[in-house]
Amino acid sequence: MQGEAIHQRLLNDFQRDFPLSPTPYADIANQLGLTEQEVLTALQELMENQSISRIGAIIPPNSIGVSLLAAMSVPTDRLDKVAAWVSSLPEVNHNYEREHRFNLWFVVNANQPAQLERVLGAIEQHTGLTILRLPLLEEFHIDLGFPLEFPVSA
Amino acid sequence: MSERIFEGLFVDPRDLELFRVLQEGLPLESRPYSAIGARVGYSESEVIARLHEWRQSGLIKRLGVIVRHRRLGYRANAMVVWDVPDAEVSRVAGRICQYPFVTLCYRRPRKGNEWPYNLFCMIHGQDRPRVEWQIRQLINECEMSDWPTATLFSTRCFKQRGARYTPSQFVALSSLQPA
């Protein structure tokens, strides 16, 4: 196995249950019939071409701190400016334009509910727009990673 | 959902530091747990034991390679919402979650006429026609055609990164622990 095939296996097969052994990359190499160095090199390449953001942990929302999905209806001619300002806030970690009357959707994180509300209030004051507050009430999905289909259209 | 259900897992100040370091990602070296342990004052086996515990308890939902969908050609992203009768939400959500293209599924509050929807799911796909087809498949097979719905494709991503929790937050959290 080489090149592209190694990349695909690494992307698809190790999104969860990453080995909790002293030498996880060697374990992965064993599974794939590679050397540890080949696995490390391939992961480095995937990191560099930004196919993966990191080897890390997904933490469920609201387990530590609080978060909220927020939506605003921003006049089109102000959208770029408002979106850039919202993105600049450290408490905001996702920010998207979507096709709807509510066209700006973002997630705000904070330590405490009071702090969260302060950030939301500051955004409303700065933009003069009202935020639709959509807190999480119940999470149904169990995150098992995302099965990728290859080849994907580039 | 309780916001503080995982508080009891941080039994040692080093746990908070480990949690913070973990969010940066595992280093690409032969003994990554030893390396992050060295940064927080834990041995390799202590780090592994902690991560085991956090994974078992659900504080870590999944540990592994975190892929960037867009970069891998999954450029179509739709948030699909429905107004589902409260008594039906759990049952329907349970079915929606069975589909591999559904990456998130949440219940959120309705907000009057402005926002009448209470069930949210996220679909990532390679292109828009395929995602539209998947949505039709969901609606047909899960018998959801009677309920008001909206599909909100994302047209631009301004910012996307994992949530990061700051050390001050850990201080706030740890101060809630019994001494």
> B88 and B56 in one domain?
no
- Which pLDDT value is given to residue A81? 97
Tell whether B160 is covered by a domain.
Answer: no
Q: What is the pTM of this model?
A: 0.78
Which residues of B fall within a CB distance of 8 Å from A143? 61-62, 103-104
- Which pLDDT value is given to residue B179? 28
> B105 and B147 in one domain?
yes
> B123 and B93 in one domain?
yes
Which residues of B fall within a CB distance of 8 Å from A24? 26, 32-33
Which residues of A fall within a CB distance of 8 Å from B121? 141
3-state secondary structure at position A150:
coil
DSSP states of B92-110 = HHHHHTTSTTEEEEEE---
The answer to whether the CB atoms of A22 and B162 lie below 8 A apart is: no
Report d(CA B21, CA B37) in Å as an integer.
Answer: 9
Q: Are A29 and A35 in contact (CB under 8 A)?
A: yes
| Closest-approach residue (CA) in chain B for A90 | B164
Q: Which of A52, A55, A111 shows the shortest C-beta gap to B68? A: A52
Give tens-digit pLDDT for B3-35: 455 667 777 889 888 988 998 899 999 999 999
Mean pLDDT of chain A: 90
pLDDT interval class at B170 (50, 70, 90): very low
Which residues of B fall within a CB distance of 8 Å from A44? 28
DSSP states of A84-142 = HHHHTSTTEEEEEEESSSS-EEEEEEESSHHHHHHHHHHHHHHH--PPEEE---EE---
Tell whether B162 is covered by a domain.
Answer: no
- Which pLDDT value is given to residue A67? 87
- Which pLDDT value is given to residue B162? 66
For chain A, percent of residues with pLDDT exceeding 70:
92
* A149 dihedral zone (left: phi>0; alpha: psi -120 to 50; beta): beta
Q: Strand order of the sheet with strand A66-72?
A: A132-134, A66-72, A104-110, A92-98, B149-160, B76-82, B119-125, B102-107, A138-139
Domain at A66-134: CATH code: 3.30.70.3460
pLDDT interval class at A126 (50, 70, 90): very high
Report d(CA A81, CA B21) in Å as an integer.
Answer: 33
User: Which residue, chain included where needed, has tokens 């080995």?
Assistant: A19
Across B93-101, average pLDDT: 92
Structural domain count of chain B: 2
Which residues of B fall within a CB distance of 8 Å from A54? 24-26, 66, 162
> B81 and B146 in one domain?
yes
> B54 and B15 in one domain?
yes
Which residues of A fall within a CB distance of 8 Å from B160? 93-96
Give tens-digit pLDDT for A55-110: 999 887 777 778 899 999 999 999 999 999 999 999 998 999 999 999 999 999 88
Q: Which of A50, A87, A111 shows the shortest C-beta gap to B169? A: A111
Q: Which of B64, B104, B109 shows the shortest C-beta gap to A14? A: B64
> B146 and B82 in one domain?
yes
Q: What is the CATH number of the domain that holds B141?
A: 3.30.70.3460
Give tens-digit pLDDT for A1-17: 778 889 999 998 999 88
Q: Where are the domains of chain A?
A: 3-48, 66-134
The answer to whether the CB atoms of B172 and A111 lie below 8 A apart is: yes
Least confident range of A33-37, A140-144, B81-85: A140-144
The answer to whether the CB atoms of A65 and B165 lie below 8 A apart is: yes
Which residues of A fall within a CB distance of 8 Å from B87? none
Domain that holds residue B54: 7-65
Residue B113: how many other CB atoms lie within 10 Å = 6
The answer to whether the CB atoms of B108 and A135 lie below 8 A apart is: yes
- Which pLDDT value is given to residue A154? 38
pLDDT at residue B2 greater than cutoff 60? no
Tell whether B169 is covered by a domain.
Answer: no
- Which pLDDT value is given to residue B73? 77
Tell whether B177 is covered by a domain.
Answer: no
Q: Which of A57, A106, A136 shows the shortest C-beta gap to B1? A: A136
- A59 CA: distance to closest CA in chain B (Å): 5
Give tens-digit pLDDT for B48-89: 999 999 998 888 888 999 988 777 778 889 999 999 999 999
User: Which of B45, B61, B174 to mutate to test binding with chain A, by most A CBs within 10 Å of its CB?
Assistant: B61
The number of residues making up chain A comes to 154
> B139 and B94 in one domain?
yes
- Which pLDDT value is given to residue A130? 97
Higher pLDDT, B159 or B138: B138
pLDDT at residue B169 greater than cutoff 70? no
Across B24-47, average pLDDT: 96
The answer to whether the CB atoms of B30 and A15 lie below 8 A apart is: no
A vs B: CB pairs below 8 A: 261
